[in-house]
Amino acid sequence: RFSHYSNLGSDEMMEVVRDGVFQHFRQLGQADASKVTLLGNFMKDARLEIVKPSLLTKAVEVIKNLPLDRGDTKGDLYEYLLSKLTTAGINGQFRTPRHIIRTMVEMMEPNPARGETICDPACGTGGFLATSYEYLLEKYSSLESIHTEIGTNERGELEEQKIFTGDLLVPWRNHVDNNMFHGYDFDTTMLRIAAMNLIMHGVEAPDIHYQDTMSQSFSTNFPQASKNAFNLILANPPFTGSLDEEDIDSTLSAMVKTKKTELLFLARILQMLKVGGRSATIVPQGVLFGSSKAHQSLRKTLVEDNQLEAVINLPSGVFKPYAGVATAILIFTKGGQTDEVWFYDLQNDGYSLDDKRNPIKENDLPHLLASWKHYRTLRGLPVDNFMGEKLASLLKQQYPEGIDAGVDFKDRTQAAFVVPKADIAAQKYDLSINRYKEVVYQAEEYEDPKVILKRLKDLEKEILADLDELEGML
């Protein structure tokens, strides 16, 4: 037990972890339980990076003082450690900020009652999957089961925080624990972190696998997952680089002739979704306006053969300090065709857009979420009015009267507006927001030049008079 371990000497601590715990990790793959075998597959190559017993002792002392028996402290601790991860940026991977993930999840409204399955084909540390689970816990908690604790917010301040138990998930608990969450990645380090992340958050048996979803082997190794498999896909695929053409799945090449990862991932997501399945995917903005045949062809497919519902323009500093690349969120449903596309120009996400990314007052995310739900209501589309407590509180502060009054989504000068499909088709399916947003310039009024000239002459007279006075003093 940890209470016994924490009282050992530093050398003995090191021996237990190095020769006991990590050896146990490497043997987990031989166990019978499927969830343990899964974790064992990722932990079999794990190495203890702490080499000094004294450093291990300090780490144990820090952990010993944490309230790990309260609420989701273990999950929050793991999220904090992930925020300090320095390996992001390799192979075009960038850790997606948690508040952006949370907003995307709330826009997509995952629903276990419908037996929905959620997948991330480039899951990295498992952020989308873990946050989806947190969303379910909050949404499916009865009022009497929610309790409060004192915790530290993102500004380092002590505040009262609510702990959600998810007690109303009982009818779908088996589905949530064993069938709802699926992820793939080709980075074993990231998968190891993802497996631990989900388990620490409470997901019993996350279905995550070592697999490059772009390669030929994906369809062979996971035939049921590669086509028409999932109800919801949340993703932030690698932004940069080109793939080895020989290893690209031929079915993807048939959809879009390119080696660019960001385009191939969108094609793969369309394949993996069930008809009627939905996706919220982060893409570099080059996908929205690229002029190559591959870019135009993929955008046309999204618009003409599927329902492209929304394009959300993100500020370019969202992924700092790892990258300053400009990005957007695409929301689409597989099948059907597009009537109109809802655009939103997000200017502020609640953090400074420099490398420090400090919290700031300006935050458009609550307005984005409320506007999206209002738009869907006007369209007669299914809307779950549940909104996470933090965003709901921010929205109430910024818009005490609500945002419904006076909203006109046809007004392209606003943050949120719609564009008919015909207009998009006429622009070669360009989806960049600047192509359609109208900027209103306020006319500057200047004084008559004669008035300005007279004022200058009067000023010059005053200066000369002052100079004469100074000269008289000499």
Residue 160: inside a domain, yes or no? yes
Q: What is the CATH number of the domain that holds 101?
A: 3.40.50.150
Residue 442: inside a domain, yes or no? no
Are residues 35 and 153 located together in one domain of the fold? no
3-state secondary structure of 152: strand
Rg (CA), the chain: 27
Quote the CA–CA distance of 282 and 105 in Å, as a whole number.
12
Burial of residue 369 (number of CB atoms within 10 Å: 0-12, 13-18, 19+): buried
Question: What would the two tokens of residue 116 be?
Answer: 């929905």
Residue 468: inside a domain, yes or no? no
The whole-angstrom distance between residue 61's C-alpha and the CA centroid of its chain comes to 33
- What integer pLDDT is reported at residue 68 of this predicted model? 55
Residue 208: inside a domain, yes or no? yes
Quote the CA–CA distance of 208 and 397 in Å, as a whole number.
39
DSSP 8-class letter at 114: G
Are residues 248 and 366 located together in one domain of the fold? yes
Select from 109, 258, 127 the least CA-distant residue to 203: 127
Question: What would the two tokens of residue 185 be?
Answer: 């990645």
Are residues 52 and 138 located together in one domain of the fold? no
Which residues, including other chains, have CB under 8 Å from residue 182's CB and lie 6 or more apart? 117, 118, 119, 120, 129, 206, 207, 208, 225, 230
Domain's final residue, options 45, 64, 83: 64
Cα 65–Cα 69–Cα 71 angle in degrees, nearest 5: 115
- What integer pLDDT is reported at residue 155 of this predicted model? 56
Residue 454: inside a domain, yes or no? no
Residue 229: inside a domain, yes or no? yes
pTM score: 0.82
Which domain does 17 fall in, by range? 2-64
3-state secondary structure of 110: coil
The whole-angstrom distance between residue 297's C-alpha and the CA centroid of its chain comes to 26
3-state secondary structure of 310: strand
Which residues, including other chains, have CB under 8 Å from residue 203's CB and lie 6 or more apart? 129, 130, 133, 176, 177, 181
- For the chain (474 residues), the mean pLDDT of every run of 10, in chain order, is 79 87 69 56 73 86 66 55 53 71 95 96 91 94 88 64 90 93 88 82 85 92 95 89 76 89 94 97 95 96 97 86 79 96 93 81 89 89 76 69 68 94 96 92 79 89 88 82
Are residues 88 and 59 located together in one domain of the fold? no
Phi, psi angle pair for 440, to nearest 5°: -95, 120
How many domains, the chain?
2
Are the C-beta atoms of 183 and 127 separated by less than 8 Å? no
Are the C-beta atoms of 334 and 229 separated by less than 8 Å? no
Residue 295: inside a domain, yes or no? yes
Place of tokens 């392209």: 412
Which one-letter amino acid corresponds to residue 210? Y
Are residues 148 and 238 located together in one domain of the fold? yes
Got the DSSP string for 30-46?
GSSSHHHHHHHHHHTT-
Are residues 53 and 99 located together in one domain of the fold? no
Are residues 22 and 155 located together in one domain of the fold? no
How many other CB atoms sit within 10 Å of the CB of residue 355?
A: 10
Place of tokens 């385009």: 263
Question: Bridge-partner residues for 146, per DSSP?
Answer: none
Are residues 287 and 153 located together in one domain of the fold? yes
Are residues 90 and 10 located together in one domain of the fold? no
Are residues 60 and 143 located together in one domain of the fold? no
Residue 28: inside a domain, yes or no? yes
Are residues 58 and 78 located together in one domain of the fold? no
Are residues 340 and 418 located together in one domain of the fold? yes
